[in-house]
Amino acid sequence: MRGSFRIAGMFSVLFVLMAVALQPLHAQDGVTLTLDAEFDIGANTAYGCPHNAVFDAAADLVWVLMDNCFVHNFTLRAFHAADGTLANPEQDYGDLFEPLDDQFITTWVNPLARLADGSFDLIYADSVSQTYDTLNLRISPESGAVVASEMPVLDVETLQSILPGYDYYPETTIYSRDHRLAAIYEEFAIHVYDLQAETLRFTLETEAESFGSYVYFSDDGTRLYVAELLNVDDVEDYRSVLSVYSLTDGELLETGTVLPTFVLWFSPDGRYAAANINDSELGVFDLESGTLGNLLPLSEPPRRVLTCVNRANDMSDVDFMTSGTLPLTDLVWLPDSSGFFTVNSSSGQGAGGAAVCY
């Protein structure tokens, strides 16, 4: 089986070729990843660090939410998946995001959903009022409209009506990619809630604190993946045990697979899991055979900065090196599970001084 994996970044987009070998779990066995292509999406976007990414319906455009390198002034860029070029170089839709200036968007909750009409549902935390309650907006690049979203979200009041006595931060609630389902965390339980039907589907009781468990919704809405840390007290131990549940009723479908990480993205067909290993490498598990293939580095070698991306001025006479670190901020699988696209960001690393150089 062969196909191309697609990976995007602030300074890199990786497209990877995949081959499958059904063998016992050994280093460098299993799925083989090969770098297919890499695109610099930072040069034409000033200093907008990529935050989250989604495909359009045809999977030929990748929409990337930029967060201005943690300044919280957001923009949205559309890139051609085939070559990494900007679909609309003159438009970053920054004016549509003005209501979100200085608001907080949490990457891990899956904040950005592409809707059927081409608009976006965007979930954020109200940091301006300092309540950090959950809110959302519907943003339409085509019409230029920014309106209150009709998609329901779980704010504090709603959470307390679903679970009387609920006393946890709303930003711990995780949403499915299409914003139709949510996983609500409590200390020793995870509740799966249907946002469209406004019903609690099921509850998973956890022996250890549930905050050592990481949930992922399948793209087709049939499975819930839960990666539970093996050693929740050791912040340097990323190993986890994977369990798979039916999203219909919470029935346990399988469990016991031990993985070296809890940071995962599952393919639409349920066979593969892309994995961030120790924040430094990217791999793919074949969940049917239990194999992990070769690992690709997520970072680049340190290099000398010759030009400032944000100001385009010459830096050739200054001795400044980048760290080369490019953490993975999001990953989106192709619809046919043949590959994926990742967003990697330098997080705005820059040289200090009177005028910052990114």
Comparison of pLDDT for 6 and 352, the residue scoring more: 352
- pLDDT tens-digit profile of 167-216? 888 888 999 999 999 999 998 899 999 999 999 999 999 876 677 899 99
Give the position of tokens 């309106």: 147
Mean pLDDT of 34-49: 71
CA distance linking residue 200 with residue 193, whole number of Å: 4
- pLDDT tens-digit profile of 128-144? 888 889 999 999 998 99
CA distance linking residue 347 with residue 341, whole number of Å: 18
CA distance linking residue 358 with residue 350, whole number of Å: 4
Mean pLDDT of the chain: 85
- pLDDT tens-digit profile of 154-173? 999 999 999 999 988 888 89
3-class SS letters over 126-159: CCCCCCCCEEEEEEECCCCEEEECCCCCCCHHHH
Tokens of 227: 């990666």
Tokens of 306: 């010759």
- pLDDT category at 241 given cuts 50, 70, 90 is very high
Residue type at position 358 = Y
Sequence-ordered list of residues with C-beta below 8 angstroms from that of 249, at least 6 positions apart, any chain = 201, 202
- pLDDT tens-digit profile of 282-323? 999 999 888 888 899 988 889 888 888 777 788 888 888 888
DSSP, res 195: T
Residue type at position 332 = V
**SS3 (DSSP) at 197:** coil
Number of C-beta neighbours around residue 199 at 10 A: 9
Comparison of pLDDT for 98 and 13, the residue scoring more: 98
Smallest CA-to-CA distance from 72 within 14, 18, 124 is with 124
